[in-house]
């Protein structure tokens, strides 16, 4: 189980450098690397986790501004992880990311507390926009079609 964090400061708050901190969870190492590079280039600080167990531990112990969770993971699903995170954090924006999207999947994401759904494969700009949009939302504001 690997966890990485590579900060890239692009914005300022007063005289302190800050950047939105995103946790991306996926069991595919190539996808972890790709999304990390894309989001860092857009000015985000990105941490990654390759399992829901590691992600849950990080979400409970570190401060993130948004979470991007793969739907299908070997040890659980992004939907279940979303539910578990909502048990202790009602406010963090959560996006579910998957290549297999059905209306039932979208409804499950909404019921679990996700604000959005990112379809794989995605264009870098679409991913960046989804993350930026999620940062302006709260748990009760969904970006998903209902």
The per-residue pLDDT for range 22-31, each reduced to its tens digit, is: 999 999 999 9
Domain assignment present for 89: yes
pLDDT tens sequence across 15-56: 555 799 999 999 999 999 999 999 999 999 999 999 999 999
Domain assignment present for 145: no
Domain assignment present for 37: yes
Domain assignment present for 141: no
Domain assignment present for 144: no
**Looking at the 3D structure of the chain, how many domains does it have?**
1
CATH code of 92's domain: 3.40.50.2300
Of the pLDDT bands very low, low, confident and very high (cuts 50, 70, 90), residue 8 is very low
- How many CB atoms are closer than 10 A to CB 81? 27
Domain ranges, residue 94: 3-135
Domain assignment present for 142: no
Among 140, 136, 138, 93, smallest CA distance to 117 is for 93
Domain assignment present for 38: yes
Q: Which residues pair with 13 in a beta bridge?
A: 16
Domain assignment present for 60: yes
117 three-class SS: strand
Question: φ and ψ at 70, to 5 degrees?
Answer: -65, 145
pTM score > 0.85 for this model? no
Q: 43, exposed or middle or buried, with CB in 10 Å at 0-12, 13-18, 19+?
A: middle
Statement: residue 112 has pLDDT above 50: yes
């Amino acid at each position: 189980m690997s966890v990485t964090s590579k900060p890239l400061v692009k914005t300022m708050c007063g005289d302190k450098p800050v950047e939105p901190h995103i946790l991306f969870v996926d069991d595919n190492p190539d996808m972890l690397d790709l999304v990390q590079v894309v989001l860092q280039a857009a000015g985000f600080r990105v941490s990654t986790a390759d399992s829901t167990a590691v992600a849950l531990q990080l979400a409970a112990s570190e401060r993130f501004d948004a979470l991007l969770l793969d739907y299908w993971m070997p040890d659980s699903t992004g939907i279940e992880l979303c539910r578990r995170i909502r048990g202790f954090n009602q406010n963090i924006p959560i996006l579910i990311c998957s290549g297999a999207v059905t209306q039932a999947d979208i409804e499950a994401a909404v019921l679990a507390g996700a604000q959005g759904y990112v379809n794989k494969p995605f264009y870098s700009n679409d991913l960046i926009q989804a993350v930026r949009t999620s940062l302006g939302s709260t748990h009760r504001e969904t970006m998903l079609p209902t």
